Amino acid sequence: MQGIRALVFDVFGTLVDWRGGIAREARALLAPHGIAIDGEAFADAWRAQYQPAMEDVRSGRLPFSKLDALHRRNLEAIAAAFGLGSLPESARVELNLAWHRLDAWPDVSPGLHRLRTRFRLAPCSNGNISLMVDLARRNGLPWDAILGAEFARDYKPKPIVYQSAAAAFDCDPGQVLMVAAHSDDLAAAARAGLRTAFVARPDEKGPGRGEVRASAPVDIEVTSLLELADRLGCGKA
Amino acid sequence: MQGIRALVFDVFGTLVDWRGGIAREARALLAPHGIAIDGEAFADAWRAQYQPAMEDVRSGRLPFSKLDALHRRNLEAIAAAFGLGSLPESARVELNLAWHRLDAWPDVSPGLHRLRTRFRLAPCSNGNISLMVDLARRNGLPWDAILGAEFARDYKPKPIVYQSAAAAFDCDPGQVLMVAAHSDDLAAAARAGLRTAFVARPDEKGPGRGEVRASAPVDIEVTSLLELADRLGCGKA
């Protein structure tokens, strides 16, 4: 991996457990309203709205809107099916911020601290800046900058999102390693000229329902950010 | 200062000593080329090109260009006057990066660490993201995000630069405190709806040639970020 100067990261699924976190937050927030839900089914349903909502922006049908705003629209789309019809506005606002309160996988903070000793680091996520900031503070993620969709004003897998992250760090795309648990994200990054690292998150979408191996050509495959730090020669933080 | 949720900062002069740093870097880089200069006069001359260059972007005559690119153009404008005509390209590139190697005033890192316990923090500078990242790493500046000109794609004092920083943090402008050592920057921030804190840097432009008191109405006046942390009730980091 000669010539790599910066690492950029997918976040949902790659660094943080969106399914477990949304399930936990939704159960806890809805119980006082007398609403009992299957938290994991709710998380899956909410996440299922994610790509179609972003496609409205990518296609130009909708001007760029922060992911928080798309999440809120998506919440309304599934609310009736989960019995949330009478949930007051203040609780909907709070529930929508559940995405700001997700937990990182255990290797993420120590791995990033090691990687930071040799490389510039930023998220390259579809999540908005304030969402990334809250996840960073909650989980101790030592970002140099918050790049990705809100900076690019468009959504992955559009090439500008990857390329604008490289440009912000004064890098050619080939000097940046995109790290993700999703082969489609990495394939798009590679098409945009970046190098790619696959990190396995086999339980991301429920037990055994994450990607174990990359299904697209990648430059490195690892099972954790600690292994990535080893492979890239990053010692103690 | 009820209702403040985020603090954004001017950087050149307010947080880092551009004059002393440019003078030091230029002397050290030019000596091996047999060029002896008055480092402070060189710094002042380079900085004097700063506002006219940005005005080309603000006025629309030039598409948005990173400050690094404007600094390079400005360096060429003063090169002959300082005897740099024969300086090779590689040395010009290195000299242009002197802006990435400036030192913070002594109160800045400890002050920001205290302020960070209660507020989201970002630079709102005309400097580009990679420049801000290098200054943060050199000086231990614990930013949550890098906001400002490159994010807004325009230069202060245009209101969009201040307002886009507030929006990235999900804040109304009135929930954000702009911190600067320059009354004109604070006056523009106030016109954009932000609240304002003046920090005195009396020696910024040479001994006794910085602002001692704000010459525009501001919400707070302090002499250091440690005093600002006291005034905003921020204890130990």
Contact in structure between A165 and A143 (CB atoms under 8 Å): no
Looking at beta carbons, which residues of chain A come within 8 Å of B128? 168
* Res B237: pLDDT: 86
- Enumerate the H helices of chain B as residue ranges: 18-30, 39-48, 50-58, 67-79, 89-96, 108-115, 129-139, 149-152, 159-168, 183-191, 225-231
List chain A residues with CB under 8 Å of B150.
168
Residue A25 confidence (pLDDT): 98
Half-sphere exposure (Cβ direction) of A213: Cα atoms closer than 13 Å? 2
Provide the pLDDT confidence category of residue A1 given band limits of 50, 70 and 90.
Answer: confident
Do residue B169 and residue A144 have CB atoms under 8 angstroms apart? no
Nearby residues of A126 by Cβ (< 8 Å), 6 or more positions away = A12, A54, A67, A148, A149, A155, A156, A161
User: Nearest residue on chain B to A165, judged by CA atoms?
Assistant: B129
* Both structure tokens of A105: 């996988």
Q: How far, in Å, CA of A199 to CA of A214, rounded?
A: 8
DSSP assignments along A179-212, one per residue? EES-HHHHHHHHHTT-EEEEE--TTTTSTT-S-S
B97 at A interface, C-beta within 8 A: no
pLDDT score for B1: 81
**Helix/strand/coil for B210:** coil
With 90 as the cut, is the pLDDT of residue A97 above it? yes
Q: Is the pLDDT of residue A237 over 90?
A: no
Tell me the pLDDT tens digit for each residue of B45-62: 999 999 999 999 999 999
pTM of the entire structure? Answer: 0.97
Which of A68, A145, A169 is the closest to B145 by Cβ?
A: A145
Using the Cβ of A120 and the Cβ atoms of chain B, whether some distance falls under 8 Å is answered with yes
What is the amino acid identity at position B101? R
Domains assigned to chain A:
6-17+102-231 (3.40.50.1000), 18-101 (1.10.150.240)
Residue to substitute from B170, B171, B175, B176, interface A, most A β-carbons within 10 A: B170
CB B211 within 8 A of CB B184: no
| Interval A33-57: pLDDT, tens | 999 999 999 999 999 999 999 999 9
**ipTM score of the complex?**
0.97
Sign of CA dihedral B121, B126, B132, B136: negative
Compute the distance between CA of residue B58 and CA of residue B61 in angstroms, rounded to an integer: 8
Give me the pLDDT at residue A52, please: 94
Q: What is the mean pLDDT of residues A176-181?
A: 98
Q: What's the pLDDT score for residue B183?
A: 98
**Mutation target vs A (from B97, B116, B141, B144; most A CBs, 10 A cutoff):** B144
Asked whether residue B119 carries a pLDDT value surpassing 90, the answer given is: yes
In what helix (H) or strand (E) does residue A176 lie, and over which residues does it extend? strand A176-180
Q: Does B231 touch chain A (CB under 8 A)?
A: no
For residue B103, name the pLDDT band (cuts at 50, 70, 90): very high
What residue of B is the nearest CA neighbor of A127?
A: B168
Residue B31 has pLDDT above 90, yes or no: yes
* Statement: residue B69 has pLDDT above 90: yes
Query: pLDDT tier at B185 (50, 70, 90 boundaries)?
Result: very high
CA distances from B78 to A14, B21, B71, B74 (A): 48, 18, 11, 7
| Beta carbons of A129 and B169 less than 8 Å apart | yes
